[in-house]
Amino acid sequence: MWGGRFSARPADIMQAINVSIGVDQRLWAQDLAGSRAHCRMLAKQGIVSQADAEAILSGLDAIEGEIRDGRFPFRDQFEDIHMNVEARLAELIGEPSGRLHTARSRNDQVATDFRLWVRDACDAAVEQLKGLQSALLTRADQHAGDLMPGFTHLQPAQPVTFGHHLMAYVEMFGRDAGRFADARSRMNESPLGAAALAGSPFPIDRHMTAKELGFDRPMGNSLDAVSDRDFALESLAAASITAGHLSRLAEEIVVWMTPQFGFVTLPDDLTTGSSIMPQKRNPDAAELVRAKTGRIMGSLVALSTVMKGLPLAYSKDMQEDKPPVFEAFDALTLALGAMTAMVTALKPDTERMREAAGSGFSTATDLADWLVRELNLPFRKAHHVTGAAVKRAEALGVDLSQLPLAELQSLEAGVTEAVYKVLTPEASCASRQSFGGTAPEQVRARIAEWKARLGETA
């Protein structure tokens, strides 16, 4: 490729550190798409002849066939996917192949290929997130009225419904999909035609190639076009936040499956056993989703570190941009698929959850609210009275709903028998009628809104 300037072949160690075909060969479809668009533009602009363009396009079609059939000779000697394609094109069509690289550089070529790949990865992540949301919506709809304890600090706080809990993740994953869509929108500009760094002296039409490749427009600065990878970083940031949400849900599944909680079970095909303890049913799929988060977040740090001190324009450091991105999206694809399968298959023990919903004095806030609403106590005083009631119930070994009226009246004389109507988990949930609250009607209304957003039957 640079034999006119160099008289010696690369040293073995130089070849070893420089070659990237083992990683970037997965850009083959994007590389062929970019080459086709570039070739058609060169012919339209009269930069290459129509005959040469037709030969090039025919050769690229043949290469695509070879790759799809597993017959393409990926060779380390040609370093990367771009030179492998170019070398094979020369073998197939001869001299016209050399005209394809007119008015472009590997710098804008790889930037284009990589943007196309990351754009496709973002689209795929959005579709997977929608699938996960759909699975969550189905389960939430089934359990919109089934009680479970809501936690803060992993301590019983207030009763909620299982459907409401699952819907929290629908909201999170909806924002995740929005972040991928936002990243896609910003990255959808074409670097092709920026050449090495300064643009091209040939009369190229960058708007034509941008349109053919599905970009909104060409990038407006040739230095920026070849030298930045913020589109990859932003996509990794979106992937990292998504992975964090997946990890939180995975952790809850792990906790819920412990005998101490016993809230849910997973089927045999989504759990594993132990080589020594025959009783074990391990939530390994959830644990691995949780672990993939580390790899995805690590990829963001890795690429950020690669890019942090590079002067304009292109540096070979950027060859290290693809491994973390590929690894992160591979891990995210697996994690989203595994989580969707678990949500679809998990079986909740609704009776166990309902019993737990009333534990830990979870209706204490309802008592305080009743004191404010019915007796017109300031909330801080009601909070103090309720705290004293909890302390007394704890001493007697009973729940708030079982605390004798006389005990409550000794703390606040105005308390009446009516207070017991708000001290059940069912009443507590039903009372949370504010928008976004856990009352079953509110949960079902939000489920209907999300089904409409995702184009499902409400």
- Positions annotated as catalytic residues are 153, 274
Residue 159, classed as helix, strand or coil, is: strand
150 forms beta bridges with: 158
Helices 440-453 and 106-142: angle between axes, nearest 10 degrees: 140
- Beta strands 217-218 and 189-190 are parallel
Give me the residues paired with residue 155 across strands. 152
- Report which of 237, 239, 238 is spatially closest to residue 307, judged by C-alpha positions: 237
Which three-class secondary structure state does DSSP give residue 198? coil
Tokens of 217: 């427009």
Alpha-carbon distances, residue 334 vs 130, 131, 407 (angstroms)? 15, 13, 56
Question: What's the distance, CA 401 to chain centroid?
Answer: 43
Phi, psi of 195 (to 5 degrees): 60, -140
Using DSSP, state whether 282 is helix, strand or coil: strand
Give, for 158, the enclosing helix (H) or strand (E): strand 155-161
- For residue 442, give the amino acid letter: Q
199-220: b or e for each residue (b if 16 or more CB lie within 10 Å)?
bbeeebbbebbbebbebeebbe
